[in-house]
Amino acid sequence: MQLEGKTIIITGAGSGVGRASAILFAEEGGNVVCADVNDEWAKETVRLVEQNGGNSIAVHCDVTSEADVTAAIDATVAEYGRLDVMYNNAGVATPRPGLRFEDHTVEDFDRLMSINLKGVFLGTKYAVLQFKKQSTPGSIVNTASVAGIVGWGGTVYGATKGGVIQLTRAVAVEAAPFDIRVNAVCPAGMPTTNFMDIPTDTATQAVAFEKVAQQHPLGRNITPEDVAAAALFFASDTARNVTGVVLPVDGGYVAR
């Protein structure tokens, strides 16, 4: 029960890492606010959390909207009395598989930057303000990517995640005197999420999964549950002296 009594907002909670994290955080005793731009997905995550005996609510949140982000925090405080953890997880992938840098449109650039970086900026900013208003410690977890650490492909996507990493480190130092911790998880290849272009037929899919797995020295694919476990550590008091850390969840990829 590492999050017993704590209240957590997870953006992008309707699928993938967000959904896995919501389920895990609730199992660990947390009150989980499932924030997503897709209301039906968020409601389904709440159903899964409650099915496992957890406590959760869904809120609509477009992370590019300042009004939506502040409304999500206000709804959380109204429901549970406080905010303890902000998990800025929502993000989008490179819009077209194999897209070269020079083939990105300005619209591609703006969408990636707006969701992946501006969304983290807004979530972090208003979480810090809420923690200071409460005069309580707080934890912020951001989903970055190994693409923000090394050249991975999807250059503009990687640039957004590099921005998330720098924001994480800088705010961690600035917010430390207020006992606010800021850390980031950096997944590698996750073929079971919608972040990779994976065939739907079983035989071809198995080959694709194996190909992705072999990119990682440990030889395994990264799962949403792997990333959720790392985020849980950062969110919990077990990591009370850990801040400014950028943790690859990558099977050893960036150690090569």
157 is catalytic: yes
| For the chain, domain boundaries | 7-187+222-249, 195-221
| Distance of alpha carbon 210 from the chain centroid | 25
| 155-175 helix and 119-134 helix, angle to the nearest 10 degrees | 10
Structure tokens at 77: 């405080």
Amino acid at 70: T
Q: What is the pLDDT of residues 116-173, one digit of tens each?
A: 999 999 999 999 999 999 999 999 999 999 999 999 889 999 999 999 999 999 999 9
Residue 200: the pLDDT is 64
Catalytic residue among 80, 87, 126, 157: 157
Percent of the chain residues topping a pLDDT of 90: 87
**pLDDT band at 206, cuts 50/70/90?**
confident
Apex 18 CA angle, 65 and 188, nearest 5 = 105
Average pLDDT, the chain: 94
In angstroms, the CA 196 to CA 188 distance is: 11
CA 60 to chain centre: 16
Q: Is the pLDDT of residue 226 over 80?
A: yes
Which pLDDT score, from 0 to 100, does residue 241 have? 98
Provide DSSP, 167-209. Answer: HHHHHHHHHGGGTEEEEEEEE---TTSTTS---SSHHHHHHHH
Which ranges in the chain belong to alpha helices (H)? 16-27, 39-51, 66-80, 106-112, 119-134, 155-175, 202-213, 224-235
Topology adopted by domain 7-187+222-249: Rossmann fold (3.40.50)
